Amino acid sequence: MTINPIDNPNEDTEFNDILRKHGILPAREEAPRTPTPPPPPSLEESIEGKTPDELARLAEEEDDSDTERVIEAYRRKRIAEMRTKEKSSAHGEVKPIGRDDYASEVTEASKVDDPLDEVKGLGTGVVVVLYKDGDPPSVQLLAQLRVLAKRYPRTKFVSIIGNKCIENYPDRLQPTLILYRAGEVAAQVVSWGKDRVREPQELEALLVVSKVVSMVHRVNEGDASGRSTAKEKDEDDIDSDEDIPSKGARSGGQLGSSKTVRGRTTVEDDDSDFDL
């Protein structure tokens, strides 16, 4: 009887199959299966996390009307989510505070990043007004700030009676504006409106130039006097040289002697006893 040599026990031959059947050779190992490639992402997965603008571009490029409708529906959902988030982080009013609240409501609050800002470390703009009850410039400034608080809901606006914030704070320096961003004083202005009636656009320009409000986040609800105006007109007012305060309006965290820069009373550092 002739016995064929086993050249390769793993070879797929009839002779090897007989040997395996009788247990002479071990069962043949199955070849590893080729892994199934992952399925392509679904439409919902591919559009997840995209901005409304990106979704609008995708919808315009899509040929299939059903897919376009799905993208458009998701875009509207994203806009609704962003508006809800913006409302939850909005302020929108001038909040009265006390002296004991100053650190938490102003300095610390200005260090907190706006949750809607993609860039971190910018903090939040905080506008503080020290005022005197019944003082006409104080009354006018508070009225204008209430409008601006609604127009810039991502900026925090607070008010405090001057001599309750700083003991013996002079009436002549009120109303005083102190503008904060990221824990630092961006600008201070004393005696606002004492020399003449201040236009709403001047106040808004000061806040824009000091970077405590952003025109990008502006909500159009009429100007600070309550009149409805076009955004282009407001931007022209902001760009006007007469409306933009000098860099001399910036100072440190201490309220000191005052001087006039470009017709506006501002604060300088000195050895004043008026410390916040």
The string of pLDDT tens digits covering residues 18-33 is 777 777 777 767 767 7
- Helices and strands, number each (H, E), in the chain: 9, 7
Query: In terms of DSSP H, where are the helices of 64-193?
Result: 65-88, 102, 136-151, 162-165
Show pLDDT as tens, one digit a residue, over the chain (276 residues).
455 556 666 677 777 777 777 777 777 677 677 888 887 777 777 777 787 788 888 888 877 788 888 888 888 887 777 766 665 556 889 999 999 999 999 999 999 887 776 677 889 999 999 999 999 999 999 999 999 999 998 899 999 999 999 999 999 999 999 999 999 999 999 999 999 999 999 999 999 999 999 888 888 754 444 333 334 344 344 343 333 333 333 333 333 333 333 333 344 433 334 555
Give 92: exposed, middle or buried? Use CB within 10 Å, 0-12, 13-18, 19+. Answer: middle
Per-residue pLDDT, 118? 67
CA–CA gap between residue 133 and residue 190 (Å, rounded): 16
Per-residue pLDDT, 253? 35
Per-residue pLDDT, 162? 95
3-state DSSP call for residue 56? helix
203, 127 Cβ separation under 8 angstroms: no
Per-residue pLDDT, 209? 95
Per-residue pLDDT, 265? 38
Nearest to 117 by CA among 25, 182, 186, 163: 182
Nearest to 242 by CA among 207, 205, 208: 205
The amino acid present at 225, given as its one-letter code, is S
The amino acid present at 72, given as its one-letter code, is E
- Strands 258-261, 264-267: parallel, antiparallel or unpaired by DSSP? antiparallel
CA–CA gap between residue 7 and residue 232 (Å, rounded): 89
Per-residue pLDDT, 84? 67
CA–CA gap between residue 201 and residue 187 (Å, rounded): 17
The C-alpha angle 104, 105, 110, rounded to 5 degrees, equals: 90
71, 55 Cβ separation under 8 angstroms: yes
Mean pLDDT value across the chain: 76
Per-residue pLDDT, 261? 32
pTM over 0.95: no
3-state DSSP call for residue 167? coil
Per-residue pLDDT, 53? 81
